[in-house]
């Protein structure tokens, strides 16, 4: 099996700033830890996460962008397309919600 078939990458620009983006990612990581038993830790502005049987990945944050990489475990590899679509939709909804609550000032 081609290992690239189990890899997911989602990159998005954002307007949250690093502090708010980090707080949001921390909130989500804590929920995933509590609900699914995933482990995570920060190295600078990169959150690393893993869960046995599910896979591992990281979220790299910058002031104006985020990159999510996941290497799915063997059990989830057949569901890659569905997982990627759900993650992308959730990220886009979260960012759109933030932007709706924090509109850019008129110039």
The token duo for 5 is: 């078939």
> Is position 107 within any domain?
no
The token duo for 79 is: 């569901």
Count of Cβ atoms closer than 10 Å to residue 49 Cβ: 21
> Is position 45 within any domain?
yes
> Is position 106 within any domain?
no
Residue 75 belongs to domain with CATH number: 3.30.310
> Is position 79 within any domain?
yes
Domain housing 20: 3-101
> Is position 81 within any domain?
yes
Total domains present in the chain: 1
Q: How high is the pLDDT of residue 106?
A: 63
What is the pTM for the complete model shown? 0.83
Q: How high is the pLDDT of residue 49?
A: 95
> Is position 64 within any domain?
yes
Q: How high is the pLDDT of residue 38?
A: 92
Kindly report the three-state secondary structure assignment for every residue of 34-99. Answer: HHHCCEEEEECCEEEEEECCCEEEEEEECCCEEEEEEEECCCCHHHHHHHHHHHHHHHHHHHHHHH
Q: How high is the pLDDT of residue 4?
A: 58
Instruction: For the chain, list residues with pLDDT below 70.
Output: 1-5, 104-107
């Amino acid at each position: 099996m081609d290992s690239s078939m189990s890899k997911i990458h989602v990159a998005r620009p954002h307007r949250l700033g690093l502090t708010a983006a980090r707080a949001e990612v921390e909130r989500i990581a804590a929920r995933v830890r509590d609900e699914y038993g995933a482990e995570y830790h920060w190295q600078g502005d990169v959150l690393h996460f893993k869960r046995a049987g599910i896979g591992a990945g990281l979220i790299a944050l910058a002031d104006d962008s985020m990159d999510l990489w996941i290497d799915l475990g063997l059990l989830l590899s057949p569901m890659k397309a569905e997982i990627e679509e759900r993650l992308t939709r959730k990220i886009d909804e979260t960012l759109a919600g933030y932007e709706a609550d924090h509109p850019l000032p008129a110039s």
